[in-house]
Amino acid sequence: MTVGVISAIPEEFSKLQWDNEPRTETIINKIFQFGSINGVEIIAAECGIGKVNAAMTTGLLLGHFGCSSIAFSGVAGGVNPKYKIGDVLIAEQLIQHDYGAIVEGQVISAIPGSFPSLVDSDDDTAYMMSPEMRAILQSEVGSLAHFGRIITGDTYLACTETRQMFFEQFGADAVEMEGAAIAQVCTNWHKPFVVIRVLSDLAGNDSHVDFDQFVDDSSKKAAVILNKVLPVLDAWE
């Protein structure tokens, strides 16, 4: 089986730890690399930023290349105040925070693809990791990573007030721009997925400063965790 690996930006993509020099192709303006990581056959793609880029690339990996599963390796902004820059999060739940309705200034999230409701409900709009997958990954990564709720949207968060709102409304641990779109596509294809994020900033007013300073180290750390995740996805049925 072949596992598809996605990163959004060059800083993330360049940190993948290939066993040997991969073969590189450009397809529909996306960079694809072919090789192995930690003994697992890989097709990796630098998808570009945002949900549409992530969804399109996931569809290519699953539909065109026939990948059996998808892993994302990259960085995110911290939302939960208990986490700090450099902490590793594996998405146990993924939510598209910008899909739904806005009613009287309140965002009412919805399951992507459904008709947004104007009334808040208790319906869970998260894409969930199975308990079986979580247990196996936990045994592989140990104390190196936390499992949590990551939210996704097509805006870069650099606002302390909005970060607090996301924490209160969604119970979010981190925020990024691709993960839940990958989850949506994989769910429709009935394929497993794992999203690995290392905090490069804390999504507040100074996040752009922290991001520039920590994106490389955080991307390297994500690639290390990816090495532990790939054999699990490769063996998953």
Distance (Å, whole) CA 18 – CA 34: 10
The partner residues of 89 in beta bridges, in order of sequence, read 146, 197
Distance (Å, whole) CA 158 – CA 206: 7
- Tokens at 119, concatenated: 């009334």
Give me the catalytic one of 11, 46, 201, 210: 201
Distance (Å, whole) CA 7 – CA 18: 14
- Tokens at 64, concatenated: 């065109």
Give me the catalytic one of 12, 87, 176, 178: 12
Q: Please, are residues 6 and 191 in contact by the beta-carbon 8 Å criterion?
A: no
Known catalytic residue at 201: yes
Known catalytic residue at 12: yes
Which residues, in sequence order, are CB contacts of 114 under 8 Å at separation 6+?
A: none
Beta-carbon neighbour count of residue 146 at 10 Å? 16
User: Which residues are part of the catalytic machinery?
Assistant: 12, 201
